Amino acid sequence: MSVIAPFPGNPNGRAVATFDRLELQRILDLYGRMVAAGHWRDYAMHFDRDLASFAAFRRAAERPDVRIEKRPSLRAKQGVWALIGEHGAVLKRGHDLQPVLAPLERRLIRLVD
């Protein structure tokens, strides 16, 4: 008889906070534009039971320039999304991803003569 082995990934069987496809697409689109503008060079993602985090780096050896965090447990309070600066200060919080990413989008706007 064959034995079915469980998928190795979540040994306790608890749910893990993640980004859905549209959220990740929006974050990676912003990341690509920031790389093209020369602001960022690397990124990292971290998924935990109560937190999904996307960190963008100017250089790989430094601490992240910004972190975009999703905490589903804060849905009824301050909002699921948080934009956290280089030194750990919360720059923006909200229930939707687009307004939270707005300060980063403003970095890409340039005046043209």
Q: Flag whether pLDDT at 111 surpasses 80.
A: no
The radius of gyration of the chain's CA atoms, rounded to the nearest angstrom, is 17
100 — phi, psi (to 5°)? -70, -35
Give the confidence band of 60 by pLDDT, cuts at 50, 70, 90: confident
Question: Is residue 94 classed exposed, middle or buried when 0-12, 13-18 and 19+ CB atoms within 10 A define those classes?
Answer: middle
pLDDT at 13: 60
pLDDT at 6: 61
pLDDT at 22: 93
Q: pLDDT exceeding 70 applies to what percent of the chain?
A: 86
**pTM of the entire structure?**
0.80
Average pLDDT on 61-66 reads 85
pLDDT digits (tens, 9 = 90+) for 1-43: 677 766 555 556 667 788 889 999 999 999 999 999 888 999 9
